[in-house]
A and B are shown apart, each in its own frame.
Chain A
Amino acid sequence: MSVHELTIHELGEKLRRREVSSVELTEAVFARVAETEERIGSYVTLSRDGALEEARRADARLKTNGSAAPLLGIPIALKDIFITKGIRTTCCSKILSSFVPPYDGTAVAKLKAAGAVIVGKTNMDEFAMGSSTENSAFGVTRNPWNIERVPGGSSGGSAAAVAAGQCIAALGTDTGGSIRQPAACCGIVGMKPTYGRVSRIGVIAFASSLDQVGPMTKDTKDCALLLEAIAGHDPADSTSVPAPTPAYASNLDGGIKGLKVGLPKEYLISGMQPEVEKSVKAAVRKLEELGAEIVDVSLPHTDYAVSVYYLIATAEASSNLARYDGMKYGYRAPAKDLLETYLKTRQEGFGPEVKRRIMLGTYALSAGYYDAYYLKAQKVRALIKRDFDVAFKRCDVIVTPTAPTTAFKIGEKTADPLQMYLSDIFTISVNLAGLPGMSLPCGFDNAEMPIGMQIIGKHFDEATMLRVAHAYESATEWHKKKPKL
């Protein structure tokens, strides 16, 4: 097995035993990128020189420190939404196509401090708006399991890179399912932590009250290790929660005997791909075999989640994206006066989906419509959150499919935004409620495309969620299957 196929924890052992150096590992990852990138297109910017320099420094630290940090020397990819000092950061938008940031965000700084090697920046839907990575100013990313299919989105580049061995692990962001849905599409593990668990400093904002950073990895243990590295209170982010970060990776093995797993009846929707339903039901039986107790729960306001999400997320986005005005950085269209500069810069700088959402959000916040749309949406959001509070009185985690279908074909849904929005129907409520949720592989459909199961945890209880995922993963082989490229 080549080193690029290994996990963080497997490579950690090898690096510490000096069976492989970080430079060798990094070279291997770049070789894998060179071999596969033309077919996949995971990356928009590669940082080869910087990565090798970081790898050399990691090797030096490995020589002097036997019990090094788990990420020391590990090549990691970052969604291009993360601000990286000195590395172009575009959010896959023309409007930021030339933007090289002057600072590192908190999660990136933590990765660097832990000795991780930054491979490059991965493709995504422009400003994280999309579920297929087709809304990128830099072209599509293809699913390593079938290059006719999308990798999911918006963190599709990160998911594809992890699945294709173009990095050992990656960071994504999740506003309505943007980590979990591509993780499911690409057969990897992806987690959206509790809102407030990871700092949003250095994450280009899409919808501030929903955005959250999370790991995208080959297995559950890597997910735990990466989460430990990036989580924690950040005084520079007022929405970051001052709670200690538990030791996730060393507490995966407790088993799930007696744990209560909730199954929400509202999530068995018509239009769900039959193999997805079958796989998730089988996974639930597996959890039962492993000692969990299955309980039926109800999340009665689920039907409203997509509508609520597309009001709140677009409203916040319309304001968050106002700073891209051609004045300070990024793209500026030549124009004769101020108004024309604004209009042309934003007309030319943003793609169609971003403009669609800015218009939706602007409308939702307008005088005379605010109460009917934005305010009403916030009230329903509170009801959705309450649904979960009630459900979690009866169970420890909730299990659902991650997405209603496996990865669809490239171009299949681009003409119909509403169909595309429904890809996130199972993940959106989790963001609205601020809960942690993760996706892990639980089967394949008839076309050999991976299926993901979503586990939803209580607020700040990523540990239990990870324990359930790890128990399931340890009893199954899905995560070991690799795409043939």
Chain B
Amino acid sequence: MSTNYEPVIGLEVHAQLLTASKIFCGCSTRFGDPPNNNTCPVCMGFPGVLPVLNKRVVEFAIRVGLATHCEIARYSRFARKNYFYPDLPKGYQISQYELPLCEHGFLDIDVGEGKKRIRLTRIHMEEDAGKNIHDVRGDYSLVDLNRTGVPLLEIVSEPDIRSAAEAGSYLRSLRAILQYLEVSDGNMEEGSFRCDANVSVRPMGAQEFGTKVEIKNLNSFKAVEKAIDSEIERQIETLADGGKLVQETRLWDADREVTRSMRSKESAHDYRYFPDPDLLPLAVEEKWIDEIRAALPELPTAREDRFVTEYGLPRYDAQVLTARRDVADYFETAVKIHRNPKAISNWVMGDVFRVIKEKKLDDALRIVDWPVPAEHLAAMIKMIDEGKISGKIAKTLFSEMLASGAAPEAIVREKGLEQVSDTASIEAAIDQVLAANAKAVADYRGGNEKSFGFFVGQVMKATQGKASPQVVNELLKKKLQA
């Protein structure tokens, strides 16, 4: 990338809210049902129907607004966004326009070593559209209105983002907040968390913005980052070649990894927004906002800081563990039982994550099925720390816990995996090993101390790995020097 240009990026995120029912009717928001199963005259846009606002949607929106330091409007309004499309049964989308619920917030994101503040312009509520399903032969399309009226938050950032990596970091932070607040599952692939990017470039040091291009069809974090990089490159090349950029909407082609023009500013829609006369202006009481604020959970950034200070974890561990609320909860459950945060962190980020990945035990929002309960993991690490089992045995034990679901103590008892520290039986094993390897013993005593490891291995083998390595070391040294 040329160093003469600075990219300027703003992101628009649409997040589906996890309310049980739709924003303006009582239909279920469930995903994956048979087409048009979750519909009624209201969300199908029949004549004579009227919308009634789902209060839970407002509550979720206020949660997000508060968590991102927004001002919550005491008085906001719904507006109609008018356009024709078969998946939009009323011919307009109920959204917010002039007076959104939340404005002037910010989000601190991780950039390399430090943090960067990205300002939020606004967060508003709106209804989702349905889905058009096009026939492969191309002679008809079908419309599924299950998604019509599912509540969405539109979260708009200021053009404070300067690179694809920052965009990715912003999206991850935002998604983590939504997930912590339990208002959205943030699944980009399934479309419950969607992102459009506004990208422009300007000469380094310039104050004015360049010509802005909106990129759509970004279906994953990777797509967002790649599309932004590709678009920045295209814009800089165009300018470097003496060309001019046009304000337009471009689609990301994930296969060819390029953006291509969809429509120009001239052919952009005039949505003819106006206040929806079917809905009263939304008045939010101070008391309600206070209640919602009081019930907010600890958010990712605060939790990450606390993990560093309270548990002495490295920043990296704290970041990874707090990126998801359920992981952080799992970790803290274990730490409460046995306070060895670093060991627990190592096990969670190592074996636990590996198994989750291998067995695909997670979906976008949460770990559906933990490989082992946090209580069991903590108990196992406690047994290591108390010398009851060896680190080596712990690996075996973890596999046993995975397979049987039993508590570690029970498995250790049942399979006789306790570490043997009693000197008499270890001495007996050592005597056997030394007797069987007389030549090696002579070599050792002759100065070849490198073979010490060999003797340890043999003793451990003879005790099926249960002997305390510490005891073996001490006794073996004594015997060999004798």
B90 touches A91 (CB 8 A): no
Contact with A along B51-88 (1 / 0, CB 8 A): 11100000000000000000000000000101010100
**Bitwise interface map of A from 64 to 82 toward B, beta carbon under 8 Å scored 1, else 0:** 0000000000000000001
Q: Is A83 an interface residue (CB 8 A)?
A: yes
The answer to whether residues A238 and B48 also contact, given A103-B41, A322-B91 and a CB cut-off of 8 A, is no
Complex: chain A residue closest to B53, CB-CB: A238
Query: How far apart are B470's CB and chain A's nearest CB, in angstroms?
Result: 73
Give every chain A residue within 8 A of B431 (Cβ-Cβ). Answer: none
A362/B272 in contact, CB under 8 A: yes
Are the CB atoms of B278 and A239 closer together than 8 Å? yes
Which residues does chain B contribute within 8 Å of A267, judged by CB atoms?
Answer: none
Partner of B91, one of A103, A201, A325, A365: A325
A208-B277, A325-B91 in contact; A235/B84 too (CB < 8 A)? no
Whether a CB of chain B sits under 8 angstroms from the CB of A160 is no
Contacts of B111 in A (CB 8 A): none
Q: Tell me if A322 and B82 are in contact (CB < 8 A).
A: yes
Question: Is B48 in contact with A203, judged by CB distance below 8 angstroms?
Answer: yes
Q: Roughly how many angstroms separate A203 CA and B49 CA in the complex, as a whole number?
A: 8
B387 beta carbon closer than 8 Å to chain A: no
Q: Which of A201, A319, A328 has the most CB of B within 10 A?
A: A319
Whole-angstrom distance between the alpha carbons of A235 and B50 in the complex? 10
Assess the B52–A204 pair: CB atoms within 8 A: no
Determine if A327 is an interface residue (Cβ-Cβ < 8 Å).
yes
Q: Closest B residue to A362 by CB, please name it.
A: B272
B45 touches A205 (CB 8 A): no
Contacting pair A328 B45 (CB below 8 A): yes
Whether a CB of chain B sits under 8 angstroms from the CB of A436 is no
Contact between B277 and A327, CB atoms less than 8 A apart? no
Residues of B within 8 A of A96 (CB): 47
Check B279 for interface membership: any CB of A closer than 8 A. yes
Other-chain contact of A235, B52, B90, B274, B279 (Cβ < 8 Å): B52
Query: For residues 261 through 275 of chain B, which have their beta carbon under 8 Å from a beta carbon of chain A?
Result: 270, 272-274
Cα separation A328 to B82 with both chains bound (whole Å): 18
**Residues of chain A at interface, number, CB under 8 A:** 43
Select A101's contact among B45, B48, B84, beta carbons within 8 Å.
B48
Q: In the bound complex, how far is the Cα of B52 from the Cα of A3, in angstroms?
A: 43
Q: Which residues of A contact B89 (CB under 8 A)?
A: 323, 327-328
Which residue of A has the minimal Cβ distance to B268? A367
Q: Are B47 and A201 in contact (CB under 8 A)?
A: no
Contact with B along A320-355 (1 / 0, CB 8 A): 011101011100000000100010000000000000
- Interchain nearest-CB distance for B279 vs A (Å): 5
Residues of A within 8 A of B52 (CB): 235-238
Task: Tell me if B288 counts as interface (CB < 8 A to partner A).
Answer: no
CB neighbours of A238 from chain B (8 A): 50-53, 278-280
- Residues in A with CB closer than 8 Å to B48 are 82-83, 101, 105, 200-205
Distance in Å from the Cβ of A318 to the closest Cβ of chain B?
8
B47 engages A323 (CB within 8 Å): yes
Closest approach, in angstroms, between the C-beta of A361 and any C-beta of chain B?
Answer: 9
Given A322-B92, A342-B84, are A237 and B50 neighbors across the interface (CB < 8 Å)? yes
Interface of A is mostly: loop
Decide: B82 and A319 in contact? CB cutoff 8 A. yes
- Kindly identify, within residues 183 to 223 of chain A, every residue whose CB is under 8 Å from any CB belonging to chain B: 200-205, 207-209
Do B274 and A374 have beta carbons less than 8 Å apart? yes
Is B209 in the interface zone, CB < 8 Å from A? no
B47 pairs with A101, CB closer than 8 A: yes
C-alpha gap A236/B44 in the complex (Å)? 16
Residues of A within 8 Å of B273, CB to CB, are 365, 370
B188 within 8 A of A: no
Cβ-neighbour of A239 out of B41, B44, B280 (below 8 A): B280
- B residues within 8 A CB of A99? 47
> Closest Cβ of chain A: how far from B263's Cβ, in Å?
14
Task: Determine the distance from Cα of A200 to Cα of B51 in the docked complex, in whole angstroms.
Answer: 11
Choose one: B41, B50, B91, B272; the contact of A366 (CB below 8 Å): B272
A83-B48, A102-B41 in contact; A327/B143 too (CB < 8 A)?
A: yes
Tell me whether A315 is interfacial, beta carbon within 8 Å: yes
A234-258 residues at the B interface, CB under 8 angstroms = 235-239
Known: A238-B279, A319-B274, A366-B270. A89 touches B47 (CB 8 A): yes
The answer to whether residues A204 and B92 also contact, given A238-B279, A319-B274, A367-B270 and a CB cut-off of 8 A, is no
Q: A174 in the interface, Cβ–Cβ < 8 Å?
A: no
**Per-residue interface assignment for chain A, residues 86 to 116, with 1 indicating a CB less than 8 Å from any chain B CB and 0 otherwise:** 0001010000100101110100000000000
Given known pairs A239-B278, A323-B90, A325-B91, the reply for A365 and B50 (CB within 8 Å) is no
B92 proximity list for chain A (CB < 8 A): 319, 322
How distant is the Cα of A416 from the Cα of B268 in the complex, in angstroms? Answer: 36
Is A134 an interface residue, CB under 8 A from the partner? no
A273–B50 Cα gap in the complex (Å)?
41
Please name the residue on chain B nearest to A91 by beta carbon: B47
Given contacts A102-B41, A319-B91, A323-B89, whether A200 and B50 have CB atoms under 8 Å apart is yes
Q: Are A319 and B80 in contact (CB under 8 A)?
A: yes
Smallest CB–CB gap between B123 and chain A, Å? 22
What is the CA–CA distance of A204 and B90 in the complex, to the nearest angstrom? 13
**Cross-chain contact B274 with A365 (CB below 8 angstroms):** yes
- Expressed in whole angstroms, the minimum distance between the Cβ of A242 and any Cβ of chain B is 12
* Partner pick for B47 among A204, A237, A239, A325, CB 8 A cutoff: A204
The reply to whether B277 and A316 form a contact with Cβ atoms under 8 Å apart is yes
Give the Cβ gap from B185 to chain A, nearest Cβ, in Å. 29
CB distance from B135 to the nearest CB of A (A): 13
What's the Cα separation between A315 and B51 when bound, in Å? Answer: 19
Q: Given A91-B47, A201-B48, A319-B80, do A208 and B91 touch, yes or no (CB 8 Å)?
A: no
CA distance A101 to B48 in the complex (A): 10
- Please tell me if the beta carbons of A328 and B277 are within 8 angstroms of each other in the complex: no
Q: Nearest Cβ distance between residue A97 and chain B, in whole angstroms?
A: 13
Which chain A residue has the least Cβ–Cβ distance from B274? A365
Please determine whether B84 and A325 come into contact, CB atoms closer than 8 angstroms: yes
Residues of A within 8 A of B46 (CB): 83, 101-103, 328-329
User: Complex: how many Å from CA A189 to CA B272?
Assistant: 39
User: A236 to chain B: which residues have CB within 8 Å?
Assistant: 50, 52
Q: Is the CB of A83 within 8 A of B270?
A: no
Return the chain B residue nearest A367 by Cβ.
B270
Q: Given the complex, which residues of A lie within 8 Å of B80, measured CB to CB? A: 319
Residues on B with beta carbons closer than 8 Å to the beta carbon of A207: 277
Distance A327 CA – B45 CA, assembled complex (angstroms): 11
* Known contacts A99-B47, A202-B48; A209 and B82 CB within 8 A of each other: no
User: Which residues from A are CB-within-8-Å of B45?
Assistant: 323, 328
- Of the candidates B41, B44, B49, B84, the one having the most CB atoms from chain A within 10 angstroms of its own CB is B49
Q: Which residues of B contact A328 (CB under 8 A)?
A: 44-46, 89
Known: A201-B50, A239-B280, A327-B143. 16 other contacts (CB 8 A): A96-B47, A102-B41, A203-B48, A204-B47, A208-B277, A238-B51, A238-B278, A238-B280, A315-B274, A316-B277, A322-B84, A323-B47, A328-B45, A338-B86, A367-B272, A370-B273
15 contacts between A and B (CB under 8 A): A99-B47, A208-B277, A238-B51, A321-B91, A322-B84, A322-B92, A323-B47, A323-B89, A327-B86, A328-B46, A342-B84, A362-B272, A365-B274, A367-B270, A370-B274
* Closest 7 A/B residue pairs (Cβ): A322-B91, A365-B272, A209-B277, A208-B277, A83-B48, A204-B47, A202-B48
> What is the interface of chain A, defined by CB distance below 8 A to chain B?
82-83, 89, 91, 96, 99, 101-103, 105, 200-205, 207-209, 235-239, 315-316, 318-319, 321-323, 325, 327-329, 338, 342, 362, 365-367, 370, 374
